Structure 1
Amino acid sequence: MATTFTTPKKQLTFLITGCSSGFGLSLVGLAQAGGHTVIATSRNPSKTPELVKEVEIKGGKWIQLDVDSPDSSKVIEELESSGQEIEYFTSLQTLNICLNNAGFSIFATVETSTEEEIRSQMETMYFGPLRLIKAVLPYMRQRRFGIIVSMSSGASLSGAPTMGPYAGAKAGLDGMTKVLAKEVAAYNIRTLTVVLGTFNTSLGLNAIFGKIPLPEDYKQTTAENMITWLKTGKVPINGDKDKAMKAVYDVVVGQGIGSGKEAEPLLLLGSDMVPRAKLVQDTLAHSLEVFGSFTNGVNIDK
């Protein structure tokens, strides 16, 4: 039987990471336009003073947050406790939605990726979100309401060559979130994993490449072609980020396409996600077809 979730008919408070551009900035605008309170975050707010001013004029707040920092979770306690002391923060003391969006990609083969590069991907897109989730859950559980949203990628389903570190970090968060959903559903806390294809954000345009050059054996392989292609800066884009984030916003607040779909834990966005999802389905089906007899044949004899 599917879990039934309820969403309060009131102004909600969004905490969104990675708001200086792309998906995060789009979501900030949508949430504020919808009458909700937004706490926007970025690593260096001083680089986007006009954006900060625009958000705060509309009643939101922009704070500095480096999700890589081991102390990043302290922001949750500070925001929650501030409502008890400062009148301005009264509406901010209940964080309803924690939306993990901050991220970047290092393009390198699994063989040539340095441990430092792999750890940096895991820090930003696994440990960073996990710290915030762990910090906000006790408050959400106490209030019997909350929504944890994680922006994932099609790379977590079937990553392209040179996306191993990125895909691993995204897949790790996806796997953890699946378990989390089962643990917190009883407290009216739901999760939403948004699996995204290619969109008109700066992720591909600001590509970071691994420090170690490809070995000679990789010449003319798909891995080398991928890096060469990315370096041209002419990566084809399929998706409109604002349309995609409107879909995310609707599912989160339960309106439009999200009306009555609060229990749905997964949202695939982007036309390139259709063949990727089909590939995963076909791969699993093929494995069962080829090895199905062994799948069921390795149980303990009784």
Structure 2
Amino acid sequence: MPKRPLTWLITGCSSGFGLSLARLVQANGHNLIATSRNPARVPELVAEVEQKGGKWLALDVNDQNSGQVIEELEAGGQAIDVLVNNAGYCVYAPAECLAEDEVRGLMETAYFGPYRLIRAVLPHMRARRFGVVVNVSSGAALDARDSMAAYGAAKAALDALSRTLVKEVSPFNIRVLTVQPGTFNTNMFNATILGRNALPDDYRGSVAEQTMRGLASGAFQADGDKDKAMRAVYELVVGEGVGAGRESERLLPLGRDLVARLKGVQEYYAHALEVFGDVCNNVYRDGR
């Protein structure tokens, strides 16, 4: 870890995790490049960041040329030390009810968008033999709730990319950290997007429909504190506080509600091995 302020590029800074982390980065003397799809919607936040010496750029992660932002920053002498892929949203509906363009839109934002930025920044980090990529995932990548299948699939794809990526780039002193939050007091649940297709009658009263109705009502109250969560992310990146001596860690789970999901995944695989372990171990070629 360099003994100097780091330059952070964070996507999705107009609210939630992105805004919380951006403020923390600046409060600790680092250089911030905040981004959002439409900065004109949050002029007061843009002014706040820029008055503290930061920069706020328009960045639509769905744009296939989004990586050009990184190329322009690097060419202008702004070396990006930490890339935080945070931008995202969710469309709620049973998997069979989602329109294909809704699913593709989720994949574009939650997977292809981060992938393009990662692909753009890695050559520069590799040349400097230093860098940190932080991918903000979700507990839905482990075990998505009813009506969140497409979102969970997109986040799971990003997680799978991260697990392989870290093997490829760790020899160049580049870290890849996956952050898996549970439910937090971000804007995600205040701006619930429901699938546009009508639910079949069979889904009336289902858990999926109850979840959608509950979220759309605005009555859902998340358990997690986003500022506490981003403090943990920040400290793990810079190697302070809870991150001291843990710089090699690759997964940061966050939220009391996530513990049950993690244990559920452990039990899911343990059960499969218990039931099918003998089958798993006996499908080899004879003579091997």
C-alpha distance in structure 1 between counterparts of 2:122 and 2:217, whole Å: 43
Q: Residues 221-240 of structure 1 correspond to what in structure 2 (within 5 A)?
A: 221-240=206-225
Shift of 1:224: 1.3
Counterpart AA for 2:24: L
Aligned residues: 287
The one of 12, 15, 19 equivalent to 1:21 is 15
Question: What residue is the counterpart of 2:48 in the other structure?
Answer: 54
Deviations 1:227-264 (Å, cap 9, x if unpaired)? 12112211131100000000000001110000110100
- 1:44 counterpart = 2:48: no
2:97 counterpart SS class: coil
1:72 counterpart SS class: coil
1:272 counterpart SS class: helix
2:137 counterpart SS class: strand
C-alpha distance in structure 1 between counterparts of 2:187 and 2:37, whole Å: 16
C-alpha distance in structure 2 between counterparts of 1:50 and 1:217, whole Å: 47
Q: Residues 179-190 of structure 1 correspond to what in structure 2 (within 5 A)?
A: 179-190=164-175
Counterpart AA for 1:249: Y
Question: What residue is the counterpart of 2:143 in the other structure?
Answer: 158
C-alpha distance in structure 2 between counterparts of 1:135 and 1:224, whole Å: 40
Identity of aligned residues (%): 55
Q: Residues 57-72 of structure 1 correspond to what in structure 2 (within 5 A)?
A: 57-72=51-66
C-alpha distance in structure 1 between counterparts of 2:216 and 2:29, whole Å: 41
Residues 185 and 221 in structure 2, CA contact (< 8 A), matched pair in contact too: no
Question: What residue is the counterpart of 1:219 in the other structure?
Answer: 204
Shift of 1:130: 0.2
Counterpart AA for 2:146: P
1:206 counterpart SS class: coil
C-alpha distance in structure 1 between counterparts of 2:9 and 2:128, whole Å: 16
Deviations 1:51-92 (Å, cap 9, x if unpaired)? 111111111100000000011010011000112xxxxxxxxx
Counterpart AA for 1:190: R
Question: What residue is the counterpart of 2:234 in the other structure?
Answer: 249
The TM-score normalised by the length of structure 2 is 0.99
1:153 counterpart SS class: coil
- 1:259 counterpart = 2:253: no
Cα RMSD over matched residues?
0.6
1:54 counterpart SS class: helix
Counterpart AA for 1:14: W
C-alpha distance in structure 1 between counterparts of 2:128 and 2:48, whole Å: 31
Question: What residue is the counterpart of 1:3 in the other structure?
Answer: none
Deviations 1:236-294 (Å, cap 9, x if unpaired)? 31100000000000001110000110100000000001111000001110110011110
Deviations 1:150-173 (Å, cap 9, x if unpaired)? 001000000001001100110000
- 1:105 counterpart = 2:99: no
Shift of 1:145: 0.2
Deviations 1:99-153 (Å, cap 9, x if unpaired)? 0000000001110111100000000010000000000000000000000000010
- 1:81 counterpart = 2:75: yes
Counterpart AA for 2:285: I
Counterpart AA for 2:12: G
Question: What residue is the counterpart of 1:149 in the other structure?
Answer: 134
Deviations 1:183-219 (Å, cap 9, x if unpaired)? 0000000110000000001101101000111101112
C-alpha distance in structure 1 between counterparts of 2:275 and 2:66, whole Å: 47
2:283 counterpart SS class: coil
Where does structure 2 lack aligned partners over 5 or more consecutive residues? none
Question: What residue is the counterpart of 1:129 in the other structure?
Answer: 114
Question: What residue is the counterpart of 2:190 in the other structure?
Answer: 205
C-alpha distance in structure 2 between counterparts of 1:123 and 1:49, whole Å: 26
Question: What residue is the counterpart of 1:30 in the other structure?
Answer: 24
